[in-house]
Chain A
Amino acid sequence: MAEEVRKYLFDLLFKVDGLYCILITDRDGVAVIKVATEKTPEMAMRQPFLSAFSMATDQGSKFGLGKNKSIICMYGNYQVVQINDLPLVITFIGSQDCNTGHVMALKEQISPLLQELKKSVVES
């Protein structure tokens, strides 16, 4: 059954030009499910890189601007969009010229899947 989810996410992945990877992880960066193309950088999918977001979003929520929802990082060759939906974290990795707004809008389409996945994620 996980294949169906993977297929669904792949369909979303190919809808956005320049999007390489969709990762749904827990707060420690352990992947619950991931779909990735060959162009995805290996380093960006590792657990230490992904887990840094949960701490950054915790600290970022203390600026007095409200709860931090997402962090977008632009690099020379890639962009990483991470969305806070604790206990889950959604990570999109794409090319530097990928349409960021389009990527952010994918969250709405993934949200029913996230609701189901939250039931199976351990609280740590």
Chain B
Amino acid sequence: MENLCKYLSCCFSCGEDSSSQAIDSNERTHLLVDPVINNTSIQRVHSDDYLPCDSSLPKKTDEQSALNRILQETATNVIDVAALGSHNLEQHEYLERTNYYTAKLSTLAKWSFLKNPPSLLVDIPVPEKVLSASPISSLDLDLMNIAVEKAVNALLDLKLEPGEDLVVPFRIP
């Protein structure tokens, strides 16, 4: 009987401990874990720049920098239609830049990279020689014509004769 009581009390105490632990963990755990960690890390990083005794000033600047960072990220991600309006350069700035570019262009001396890609048709240096060469003899021409005709006729006569059945039954019992 004593053993049973001890066992029950132990069980009760264990249950109580586990429940109290659960309550503790609920109280101590943060719902927003990551932002808190991030904030502390930001403060640590930025507070290095300041004196450790001055505590109030770094907090404000840290908040400000964090807010600025959020603002910048938002600005880079949001499509800003209002920013699409064209901005005009001042006339003198435009002229300055144009002059600058023309001056730079004239100083760059190496334009060897400007080569047209090789074309399929290559120029013949002395076309007269090629054009004035004697044509091939009529016998050769006839030979070529006859050979080509024979080849064409052979291709046209090409037929496929079925030697076996197209459908082959498998030997399935």
* A and B interact physically: yes
A residues within 8 Å of B by Cβ?
1-2, 4-5, 8, 11, 26, 28-33, 47-49, 51-52, 55-56, 59, 62-63, 109, 112-113, 116, 120-122
Give every chain A residue within 8 A of B77 (Cβ-Cβ).
Answer: 62
Whether the pair A52, B88 counts as a contact (CB closer than 8 A) is no
Whether the pair A1, B105 counts as a contact (CB closer than 8 A) is yes
Chain B contact-residue range equals: 20 to 34
Is B113 an interface residue when CB atoms closer than 8 A count as contact?
A: yes
Whether the pair B84, A30 counts as a contact (CB closer than 8 A) is no
- Which residue of the partner chain A has the closest CB to B81? A59
Complex interface residues of chain B between 88 and 112 (CB less than 8 A to chain A): 88-89, 94, 97-98, 100-102, 104-106, 108-111
Question: Which 5 residue pairs are nearest across A and B when measured between Cβ atoms?
Answer: A120-B104, A2-B105, A112-B113, A48-B86, A30-B97
Give every chain A residue within 8 A of B116 (Cβ-Cβ).
Answer: 11
Whether the pair B84, A28 counts as a contact (CB closer than 8 A) is no
Give every chain A residue within 8 A of B114 (Cβ-Cβ).
Answer: 4-5, 8, 112-113
- Which residue of the partner chain A has the closest CB to B84? A55
Give every chain B residue within 8 A of A47 (Cβ-Cβ).
Answer: 88-89, 94
6 new A-B contacts, CB < 8 A, other than A26-B101, A30-B94, A30-B101, are: A8-B111, A28-B89, A48-B86, A55-B83, A112-B114, A122-B100
- Which residue of the partner chain B has the closest CB to A53? B86
